């Protein structure tokens, strides 16, 4: 089956610093990648959709200058949380689609804690 | 109104029981429907797609009622390993998925 990896799996950073999270499709070409965020006991909320080679489309309420998304290749997308604050602490999950169906393959998630 | 609504539970059932979860969605243009399972602090994993004609996969049966905008999941002969949060997921054609907040199931010995 399709495999998606995320790195790091867990990160703790200080308030005001930036954190980069990588999402890789290991055995298929991901034409579209999605970034979700999940707060404790809440549902996954879509943050943005990125297509390879073009700018990401952000959901309402998600600041594009704070959550920088780059999808430079068909196997890699990155999410950078800039000037992180404690309220950015969350579980960030990426998913990838090969464009042939609506199925998405999820990465294992990155747990971010901002102190 | 939320786009996808689910009863959060928890549903506490004994092993061997049959349990059913329901979900409603608000967008009548929704095109694809899924049930995902999420274990604590893990990513969601696809359990099954849901088709208009209803579909079954072993102990799991999913039903879709487009007229009522309602999706269900039935689990028969519950196992301890079925304990998880079950997410109702809808695709409106934008390729992004809209997740319900999940229904927590706890199967007890």
Residue B92 touches partner A, C-beta closer than 8 Å: no
Task: Find where tokens 């309420």 sit.
Answer: A61
Which tokens in the block code for residue B8?
Answer: 């959060």
Identify the residue among A38, A44, A97 best suited for mutation to test binding to B, counting B beta carbons within 10 A and taking the highest: A44
Write down the pLDDT at residue B69.
Answer: 95
Q: Report the chain A residue with the minimal C-alpha distance to residue B93.
A: A102
pLDDT for the residue B95: 67
Calpha distance B93→A103 (Å, rounded) = 12
Q: What does DSSP say about strands B103-108 and B11-14: parallel, antiparallel, or unpaired? A: parallel
Indicate the burial class of B71 (C-beta count within 10 angstroms; 0-12, 13-18, 19 or more): buried
- The pLDDT, as a whole number, for residue B29 is 87
CA atoms of B96 and A35, how far apart (whole Å): 10
Mean pLDDT, 10 residues at a time, chain A of 115 residues = 91 97 93 92 89 88 94 92 96 91 88 97
């Amino acid at each position: 089956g399709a495999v998606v990896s995320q790195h790091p799996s867990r990160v703790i950073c200080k308030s005001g610093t930036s954190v980069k999270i990588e999402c890789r499709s290991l055995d298929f070409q991901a034409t579209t990648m999605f970034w979700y965020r999940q707060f404790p006991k809440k549902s996954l909320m879509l943050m943005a959709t990125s297509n390879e080679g073009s700018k990401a489309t952000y959901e309402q309420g998600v600041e594009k200058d704070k959550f920088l998304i780059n999808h430079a290749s068909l196997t890699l997308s990155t999410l950078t949380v800039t000037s992180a604050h404690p309220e950015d602490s969350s579980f960030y999950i990426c998913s990838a689609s090969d464009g042939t169906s609506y199925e998405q393959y999820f990465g294992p998630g990155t747990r971010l804690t901002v102190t | 109104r939320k786009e996808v609504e689910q009863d959060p539970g928890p549903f506490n059932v004994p092993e061997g029981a049959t349990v059913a979860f329901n979900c409603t969605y608000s967008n009548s243009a929704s095109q694809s429907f899924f049930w995902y399972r999420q274990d604590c602090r893990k990513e969601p994993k696809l359990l099954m797609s849901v088709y208009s004609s209803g579909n079954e996969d072993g102990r799991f049966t999913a039903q879709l009622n487009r007229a009522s905008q309602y999706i269900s999941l039935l689990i028969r002969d519950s196992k301890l390993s079925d304990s998880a949060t079950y997410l109702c997921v809808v695709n409106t054609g934008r390729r992004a998925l809209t997740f319900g907040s999940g229904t927590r199931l706890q199967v007890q010995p």
